[in-house]
Amino acid sequence: MKIAILSDIHGNLEALRSVAESWDELWVLGDLVNYGPNPAEVVDFVRQNATVVVRGNHDHAVGAGEDPRCSPAFREMARAMMAYTESVLSDEQKAYLRQLPLTAHREVGGQRFFLCHAVPSDPLFKYCPGEPSLWRPEAAAMDADVVTVGHTHLPFVIDLGGVCIVNPGSVGQPKHGVPEARYAVWEDSVISLRSCRYPVEETVRKVLALPIDMHIRRQLAGVLLTGAPPA
């Protein structure tokens, strides 16, 4: 059994299409939309191909018309792109985002998996980096062998002695300093973090052509080209 685990696609169709893995199941840990120029196409791809999908804070915001509560450096970009994203998604696509579950459970190969976007105690909003001491309280409350999360856009695997925490990083808006799509693969009880190059210049070209303020477009392009948050 091979499972591809993706998170934080953020409307980046070029990055999503560049994940050239085969899989038996595709799991998506939220944030299909916002920031990127192709949210509708990403939603359609996920609906057609994913086995399990959970709701991210940006999916929730676009689907329900609420604040995504993102970090200060991204608030202006999120606000501008949310208006664009809402304008290009159909009512059906927004309803799909709104109705996605906050969490999911799977059992594969004798291992119990828990899926959410942020952290189990706050599936939509809490940021928790890859520091083991921060994850121990979350892991202690879990009836699972593997907890898969996204939200921070930073890939990590933490073994807490009985519970493994996996963040695949971001497919569409990496923040670890390299402009590559990040994801994870679970195969035959082994988890691996992977990355692939994608035509980032094409995504940037689309971003720079968006009908939003040029300052926002340049900020978004800078994040994509550097693979890092704004300075």
pLDDT (tens digit, 9 = 90+) per residue, 5-41? 999 999 999 999 999 999 999 999 999 999 999 999 9
Q: Name the token pair of 108.
A: 């594969």
Reported confidence tier of residue 231, pLDDT bands at 50, 70, 90: confident
What residues form DSSP beta bridges with 187?
A: 2, 190
Residue 36: give the domain boundaries. Answer: 2-226
Query: 23 lies in a domain?
Result: yes
Cβ(36)–Cβ(9) under 8 Å? yes
Query: 122 lies in a domain?
Result: yes
Residue 226 CA to residue 10 CA, distance in Å, equals 16
Residue 158 CA to residue 179 CA, distance in Å, equals 23
Provide the number of structural domains found in the chain.
1
Q: What are the C-alpha distances in Å from 178 to residues 55, 79, 84, 202?
A: 26, 25, 26, 16
pLDDT at site 141: 87
Give the CB-side neighbour count of residue 139, counting CA atoms within 13 A.
21
Q: What are the residues whose beta carbons fall under 8 Å from the beta carbon of 231, sequence distance 6 or more?
A: none
What residues form DSSP beta bridges with 159?
A: 164
CATH number at residue 33: 3.60.21.10
Cβ(185)–Cβ(195) under 8 Å? no
Cβ(89)–Cβ(11) under 8 Å? no
Query: Which residue is it, tokens 């998506």?
Result: 28
Report the Cα–Cα distance between both ends of the chain, in Å, rounded. Answer: 41
User: Could you count the other beta carbons within 10 Å of the beta carbon of residue 228?
Assistant: 16
Q: Are strands 156-159 and 146-148 parallel, antiparallel or unpaired?
A: unpaired
Query: 74 lies in a domain?
Result: yes
Reported confidence tier of residue 161, pLDDT bands at 50, 70, 90: confident
Mean pLDDT of 60-82: 94
The rounded percent of the chain whose pLDDT value lies above 90 is 94
Cβ(177)–Cβ(227) under 8 Å? yes
- Picking from 210, 146, 203, the residue whose alpha carbon sits closest to that of residue 18 is 203
Q: Name the token pair of 93.
A: 């696509």
Query: 138 lies in a domain?
Result: yes
pLDDT at site 183: 98
Angle (CA) 103 108 110, round 5° = 115
Query: 231 lies in a domain?
Result: no
Reported confidence tier of residue 140, pLDDT bands at 50, 70, 90: confident
Query: Which residue is it, tokens 């591809």?
Result: 4
**What does the DSSP 8-state code read for residue 73?**
G
